[in-house]
A = this chain, B = another copy of it.
Amino acid sequence: MFHLLEQLEENGAATVSSTELGRQLGVNAYSVRKDISYLGEIGNCRGGYAVSKLKNHVSEKLGLNTGRSVCIVGLGRLGTAILHYERLAVSGLTIVAGFDSNINKLETIRTNIPLYPAHEITTIVKRGGIELAVLSVPAQAAAETAKRLIDGGIRGIVNFSPAVLSPAPGVFIRNIDLVAEFRIVSVLSLLNIKN
């Protein structure tokens, strides 16, 4: 949704209607209006929403403009891919550190982002006031690593490992199990025609 607004703005569109937004997002116009209305009114009934105004409005209400610091824990292929992901940088998130338990690996990765061994997680997170973390370590290391992050005072974790992390107070955890996603597609593509 936000990405679409940015695209529209780049293309020089001044306004956009809920119908059009819905079409491009693959949902109906009701939902679009409902969602937008939760953030308070803004539309100028005649010509739809003013694109840049709506973008800023959403951005502000959701706190998307407040830059937040992120660290990547586990620099395997997936972790490294995220470390270099450009789209993150342009979305208010700054990657400020990377961690891996394999010290040799830290030296082979080319980046300007500072990298540290895994045992320093708690210290660095605490010192740098790092708010969010990406967990891309093997399943068996997930619980231990998460504990270190939480001890450092992390506020949110995006967990790519298949292990389900035990919830901690004040820490928001989002699990993304890639293999499960593939299974979903695999199963559902067999069954029905509609999404």
Contact B77 A182 (CB under 8 A): no
Chain B residues near A122: list those with CB within 8 A: none
Q: How far is the CB of A13 from chain B (nearest CB, A)?
A: 16
Chain B residues with CB under 8 A of A174: 181, 184-185, 188
Contact B187 A64 (CB under 8 A): yes
Decide: A164 near B26, CB < 8 A? Known: A93-B182, A184-B174, A189-B156. Answer: yes
State the oligomeric state as a number of copies: 2
Query: What CA separation (Å) do A149 and B172 show in the bound complex?
Result: 37
A residues apposed to B, CB below 8 Å = 1-4, 7, 24-26, 62-64, 68, 70, 76-78, 80-82, 84-85, 87-88, 91-93, 131-132, 139, 155-158, 162, 164, 166-167, 169-174, 176-190, 192-193, 195
Given A63-B190, A77-B80, A174-B185, 18 more pairs with CB closer than 8 A: A4-B164, A26-B167, A63-B187, A76-B81, A77-B81, A82-B178, A87-B162, A87-B178, A87-B179, A91-B179, A91-B183, A92-B186, A131-B186, A156-B185, A156-B188, A158-B182, A167-B195, A174-B188
